[in-house]
Structure 1
Amino acid sequence: MNAAEVIVQCLKSEDISHVFCVPGESYLPILDALFSEQMIELISARHEGGAAFMAEGYAKASGKVGVVMATRAVGATNAAIGIHTAKQDSTPMVVLLGQVARSFRGREGFQEVDVEAFFRPLAKWAVEIDDAKRVPELLTRAFRIAQTGRPGPVVVSLPEDILHEQIHDVKFSKTFVPKPAPNEEDVGRIEQLLQSAKRPVVIAGGGVIRSKATDVLRLFAEKWSLPVMASFRRHDVFPNDHSLYVGHLGLGTHRAIIETVEQADVVLAIGTRLSEVTTQDYKLLSTQQLIHIDIDYDVIGVTYSPHIGIVSDAKEVLQRLLTIKLQPTWAAWTKERREAYEHVSSLPPVKRNINESVIDDIQHLLPSNSIITNDAGNFASWLHSFFQFQQHTYIGPTSGAMGYGLPAAIGAKLANPHRSVISLSGDGGFMMTMQELETAVRYNIPIISIVFNNQMYGTIRMYQELRYPNRVIGTDLSNISFANVAHSLGADGIRVESGEQFSHALTKALQSSKPTVIEVITDRHVLSPFLTVEQVRGGKQ
């Protein structure tokens, strides 16, 4: 086999069924090798950033490694946003990048860039293969690094001349992902500290989801009546309608939910890096005793020095914590914090704006196993504040990347073709990757994309109004008909201006076999669920 064919065999050995790309001349041999491969479907996107978001969303939804390919320099740098998202979200991804021929390197050849140097800060690992014989070794290593420890993106640079070279006696085996577990002493220390607690709380992150430990987390919480919070954009780590769920630590989190952590005396953080957003600018955990459990040595102690720090797979540690002995004294406090969450996360009977009507409708009209993705933007604060997620129903970027929602939904739908997949975007974020709607049409991927159109970059406008009221610059956008755009790309498009219209549109979209855009015309004076332009300018925020 030549090196390109070897690469495809490696993908097969890792059970890769979908590869995302924008085709490029620098890796034509790999495309040719995929032409003859029936087990792998190639999804050709309209932009490398969109392709990378698709691979990232696919990886989250499938539990597999996302694979994306791009051509040298111009394609590689376009894909960087998805690579950064995978790094911050701890998503396993392998990025195969074309590179100029080895004899041209170092001369600023056509579209040449030092891939290793460029991606080293963005990726978990970056490597350029300069010897065809090492393709099996280094590509296998790439898949191992992407999946083990704290998962993340690995970038592999492939000089185009090596792809033609012959390689003999190649064998592959699927990567085995080790699952470190705590020892008895570690479990005993956790038991002792929890037993001393009066107001404990669990903060659960993406590591719990990745290790398929959500059910074990629920059993653990139920056994000891422990309140559970979700870290930033990990809403689906615990059923939101459960009596032990007490909120999401995200952007714009209501004060009543933050107070739960502030009042806690022991915090058990599992599978979370305790990011800036989760910890509210690194200010939230100051007096509490912290138990920090993560699969990666490098995560523990970075943002806070824990009282107990343990390297472990989330499922392994939770299974062992089911065996400890506690005498809970915090049932009343847990009930109080659940009531505080319910008070601030319940939609009013009479909806105050169309955004609230949209969230209410998707709550009641979507099938319970539907997957929701979203872009960055203020529109998402209604989703994060009021929607009640079930386990394994949400995919969002902790990197805060705009343009994520639509392509991530495409990846999620390919991973789960029998589940409804819906994306939420603002008009600003949607226009960054809306060309991928054509990709969904071309491959017949029936996702639903809700676009909140307020003709502005809403989040930036909010901060603009807060810090420089009445001095608006750069945040106004044009009045685009996204429903018409959808029609022009071969998708269904529906414009709505009321809650009743949205209900009909969503019902129709759920029955359609085509991708659908539902354009929601929103009030540009409503900045968030709890803030209007007038309130900001009047000093009432």
Structure 2
Amino acid sequence: MTATVATQLVASLKAHGVRYVFGVPSESFTTLLDALYADGEITFVPARHEGGAAFMAEAHAAASGGIGVVLGGRAVGAANLSIGVHTARENSTAMLVLVGQLHSRHRGREGFQETDLPAFLGPVAKHAVEESDPHRVPPAVARALTLSRTGRPGPVVLSLPEDVLDHETAAVPALPRAGTRPAPSPEDVTAVRKLLLGAARPVVIAGAGVKLSGAEDDLVAFAEAWEVPVLAAWRRHDVFPNEHPRYAGHLQMGTHPDLVATVREADLVVALGTRLGEITTQGYTAPAAGQRIVQVDVEPGQLGKAYPVELAVHADALATMRALGKPGERRDPDWADERQRVYRRVTTVDPAENREHVDNRQIVRALRAGLPPDAVVTNDAGNFAGWLHTFFRFPLARTYVGAASGAMGYALPAAIGAKLAAPDRTVVSVSGDGGFLMTVQELETAVRLRLPLVSLVFNNNMYGSIRMHQERRYPGRVIGSELGNPDLVELARAFGAFGTRVAADAEFPAALEAALAADRPAVVEIVTDPGRISVWNTLDELRERTA
């Protein structure tokens, strides 16, 4: 029995558990869109910009544990969605990126919106290919779906000329293939155990590899058995329950020095499924040169890439922890207890109610108190996030969705993707005014889909992180970082969403309650002090220090 390439592609997506395809309609994909319409089991979610669609697809995959699919047409659509491709690569998120190409007979003649799409998107993708032979499209789809999910997951780009989708094919749908995840060798297990048993102050830095292998519970058991403190790598907050006695904090931009000391004072650093990137390592200063490092990663190319390591283990995080087992002897808990006390000391916020101004610490404290434990928080980029990163506690796995790439504009479309993945859970996006207005048009998408999600917007009328860097180097010489914003409450209402404003943190609990009860998309604008530029500094303090 034959089908068109478009029909076969839709069947392949269904076989891989895809239930939503995100994108902006394109003339390159009218045949595929019609195949989705005819099938009826996969919902096409039209966004207002391909960048927002790509963020939705990435976050949907992150929240569901499946694969995200985004659709973009030709060069302009591909350019717009490229930010989401880069984010999926940085986040190690499985994503199929389908980009349209002009008709095959027009290729190479500078046709309308023609560009070399694999060459364009390849550097930010895990893999990118164009397939113009209709008989080879089905196996190309199968390979793309498999490649995106195996090893270190990532975005795979498949460029398809518009004419190939109408061709008939006898190929069967691409079925999911069970991928093998490498286990540590017996020699590696012995070596890691020896290093751990000989360490008085070990620490685990846990990254995406733990989450992607579903090893969160095993990490808790490992930390308890070996009496080892656990730090979350950059934007991997929910890799370990934050209220657990072995949690020691999150390594972020501007991490409190006492938390960084947990890394610097360790006599063994176990990098478990983390790349040890620039932010996690505080600019490659923690660990310091010469510290003993064991790195465990499913992707061999990551081993020793950022740091020389004493032992490189090419293995899955889950398989590694299970192979290591228990120490076989009682471990001294004093080091782990001490680091947990430090974490609680620098991140605990005592309740207070300011009726004249906003204290972001109190907003974050009240946010945690006002949400159920399994609420999903999506996180934009900007200095406002420092308060969330420092003071919000994630008690459960799969409750955080953020862009390790630092992409602004992520949180709102990510909340849409996460809410579609987890419709029965509360979803809250957290943004600054700069990031929120980069993708605010996706509020219409949320309203159209009738998704009851809440967007918190910390508004200081500036690109705060850029302003901070300016003031550090050129105090008082401000250019380009000041903003003029519309009335965000009225803007939300114009889209058909609920809107409210908070000018003092004492007002926030009631505003949050009203937003959660609105049963539609809601925006809560939080008017913040522009002078309080970061968690630990004011603008005046930065200027004085520089002077």
- TM range, normalised to the smaller chain? over 0.9
> Unaligned 5+ residue runs, structure 2?
none
For 2:321 and 2:105, locate their aligned partners in 1 and report how far apart those are by CA, in whole Å: 53
- What's 1:297 paired with? 300
1:175 CA drift (Å): 2.8
- What's 2:363 paired with? 358
Give the 5 Å matches for 1:33-48.
33-48=35-50
Deviations 1:324-356 (A, max 9, x none): 534423x21211111111111111444674312
- What's 2:447 paired with? 441
Task: After superposing the two structures, state which structure 1 stretch, 514-523 or 310-319, moved more.
Answer: 310-319
1:320 CA drift (Å): 1.5
- What's 1:415 paired with? 421
- What's 1:493 paired with? 499
- What's 2:386 paired with? 381
> Unaligned 5+ residue runs, structure 1?
none
- What's 1:432 paired with? 438
Deviations 1:40-81 (A, max 9, x none): 111110000000000010010000000000110001100000
Deviations 1:270-320 (A, max 9, x none): 111111111111121223211100111111111112111111111111112
- What's 1:524 paired with? 530
Give the 5 Å matches for 1:340-351.
340-350=342-352
Is 1:78 the equivalent of 2:84? no
Amino acid at match of 2:362: S
Given the superposition, is the C-alpha separation of residues 308 and 327 from structure 1 closer, same or farther in structure 2, using an over 3 Å criterion? farther
For 2:518 and 2:173, locate their aligned partners in 1 and report how far apart those are by CA, in whole Å: 45
One of 190, 193, 196 as aligned partner of 1:191: 193
SS in 2 for 1:39: coil
For 2:180 and 2:57, locate their aligned partners in 1 and report how far apart those are by CA, in whole Å: 23
Question: Which consecutive segments of 4 or more residues in structure 1 shift more than 4 A?
Answer: none
Amino acid at match of 1:494: T
Deviations 1:452-495 (A, max 9, x none): 11111000011111110110111111132111111000111111
1:256 CA drift (Å): 0.2
1:14 CA drift (Å): 0.7
8 Å contact kept, 1:191–1:325: no
Amino acid at match of 2:443: L
For 1:512 and 1:215, locate their aligned partners in 2 and report how far apart those are by CA, in whole Å: 35
Deviations 1:368-413 (A, max 9, x none): 1000011100000000011111222111111000000000011001
1:181 CA drift (Å): 0.8
**For the aligned residues, what is the CA RMSD?**
1.3
For 2:343 and 2:34, locate their aligned partners in 1 and report how far apart those are by CA, in whole Å: 55
Give the 5 Å matches for 1:132-281.
132-281=134-283
8 Å contact kept, 1:90–1:151: yes
Amino acid at match of 2:242: N
8 Å contact kept, 1:195–1:327: no
- What's 1:506 paired with? 512
1:169 CA drift (Å): 4.0
Is 1:311 the equivalent of 2:314? yes
8 Å contact kept, 1:265–1:287: no
For 1:138 and 1:354, locate their aligned partners in 2 and report how far apart those are by CA, in whole Å: 53
Amino acid at match of 1:322: G
**TM-score, normalization by structure 1:** 0.98
For 1:76 and 1:319, locate their aligned partners in 2 and report how far apart those are by CA, in whole Å: 42
- What's 2:56 paired with? 54
Amino acid at match of 2:430: L
- What's 1:27 paired with? 29
Amino acid at match of 2:497: A
8 Å contact kept, 1:374–1:423: yes
Amino acid at match of 1:467: R
For 1:535 and 1:279, locate their aligned partners in 2 and report how far apart those are by CA, in whole Å: 25
- What's 1:95 paired with? 97
1:415 CA drift (Å): 0.4
- What's 2:463 paired with? 457
1:135 CA drift (Å): 1.2
For 1:351 and 1:80, locate their aligned partners in 2 and report how far apart those are by CA, in whole Å: 43
Query: In the comparison of the two structures, how many residue pairs are matched?
Result: 540
8 Å contact kept, 2:139–2:174: no
8 Å contact kept, 1:194–1:326: no
For 1:183 and 1:466, locate their aligned partners in 2 and report how far apart those are by CA, in whole Å: 48
Task: After superposing the two structures, state which structure 1 stretch, 155-164 or 473-482, moved more.
Answer: 473-482
Task: After superposing the two structures, state which structure 1 stretch, 492-501 or 83-92, moved more.
Answer: 492-501
Amino acid at match of 1:255: P
One of 328, 338, 344 as aligned partner of 2:331: 328
- What's 1:482 paired with? 488
Given the superposition, is the C-alpha separation of residues 139 and 349 from structure 1 closer, same or farther in structure 2, using an over 3 Å criterion? same
For 1:356 and 1:489, locate their aligned partners in 2 and report how far apart those are by CA, in whole Å: 30
8 Å contact kept, 2:361–2:387: yes
For 1:536 and 1:304, locate their aligned partners in 2 and report how far apart those are by CA, in whole Å: 32
For 1:230 and 1:211, locate their aligned partners in 2 and report how far apart those are by CA, in whole Å: 16
Aligned-residue identity in percent = 48
One of 91, 108, 118 as aligned partner of 2:110: 108
Task: After superposing the two structures, state which structure 1 stretch, 438-447 or 170-179, moved more.
Answer: 170-179
Amino acid at match of 1:408: A
For 2:330 and 2:423, locate their aligned partners in 1 and report how far apart those are by CA, in whole Å: 45
For 1:383 and 1:437, locate their aligned partners in 2 and report how far apart those are by CA, in whole Å: 22
For 1:172 and 1:246, locate their aligned partners in 2 and report how far apart those are by CA, in whole Å: 44
SS in 1 for 2:300: coil
SS in 1 for 2:74: coil
SS in 1 for 2:271: strand
8 Å contact kept, 1:14–1:175: no
For 1:540 and 1:505, locate their aligned partners in 2 and report how far apart those are by CA, in whole Å: 39
Amino acid at match of 2:377: I
For 2:70 and 2:169, locate their aligned partners in 1 and report how far apart those are by CA, in whole Å: 23
For 1:212 and 1:481, locate their aligned partners in 2 and report how far apart those are by CA, in whole Å: 43
